[in-house]
Amino acid sequence: MKLSRAILSLAIMVGVATAVFLPVAAEGVGGGSVQGYSADAAYDNGTIVQLTGKDANRVKIAKQAELQNMFGVVVDRNALSVTLSNSGLENEVFVAASGTYNVLVSNQAGPITSGDYVTLSSINGVAMKAGTDEKTVFGRANAPFNGKGITLGTSVLKDTEGKTNKTVTLGSIPVTIDIKSNPNIESTKSDLPEFLQRVGQTIAEKEVSPIRIYLSLGITLISILAAIAILYSGVRNGLISIGRNPMSKKSIFRALLEVILTSVLILIIGLFAVYLLLRL
């Protein structure tokens, strides 16, 4: 009887946990939070938007001229397991500011391959492959788009004089939202070897000026040379002392251990200084 009650209690606990946590897990299928915002119109799913500035609960279609203000992407509310709707919002749209969701793209800057950074194109709310001139990226593509196969149509781009400049193809691909400074920005690539550029960006997780990277390289070399010099000098003097006075091996080995620890400490301090220089 007691065993039956225990099993029944366990089943109830599992059922409650499933009811509570399952909707939350389903809501995070895209990997990020989604929130409702008011808008001027019902925007298409996949449209990149930005906050209006004067109202934190209202969004508008993002423009290339305001690249740094990109905020998130409009997502399909029907694809979400759980939504918190506010009937008081005008033309309510659901926006994801993080995670992986479908984003409208074009081939304005050429074919997009999986892993490419994307940014806003000349078409408001639509992304394209990021080059080396745009200062901000929206995220990284999780699928390719070359303007062929399944597309959503075409759009004609015009120059400042209103003349037809180019016809581009539109599509939709999953993009992991990661709004940040463009890691491929021209100023960094032109002044640094590719290897140093990659190392600097990996440590800092952002764009790093060439001066900081060269300073970091100098500090690293000086720290390594200083550690090697101290270690070499300590070992050499220790061996000489042992040769002159074999009876003092114990004290000499203790001094040699202190030299080794000092060398390691100098190296650690140097590397930590480099980390701070790149991160701050």
Judge whether residue 224 has pLDDT over 70. yes
For the stretch 206-218, pLDDT in tens is 667 778 888 888 9
Percentages helix, strand, coil for the chain (3-state, rounded to 5) are: 45, 25, 30
Is the pLDDT confidence value at 60 over 80? yes
pLDDT digits (tens, 9 = 90+) for 6-35: 433 434 343 433 333 333 333 334 556 788
pLDDT for the residue 87: 66
Q: How many CB atoms lie within 10 A of CB 16?
A: 10
pLDDT at 3 over 50: no
pLDDT of residue 109: 92
Quote the mean pLDDT of the chain. 80
What is the distance between the alpha carbons of residues 19 and 244, in angstroms, rounded to a whole number? 79
Q: pLDDT for 62-104, tens place per residue?
A: 999 999 999 999 998 887 766 556 667 788 899 999 999 999 9
Q: Distance between CA 180 and CA 120 in Å, rounded?
A: 13
- Compute the chain's Rg from CA coordinates: 29
Enter the tokens of residue 175.
Answer: 């993009």
Q: How far apart are CA 75 and CA 245, in angstroms?
A: 79
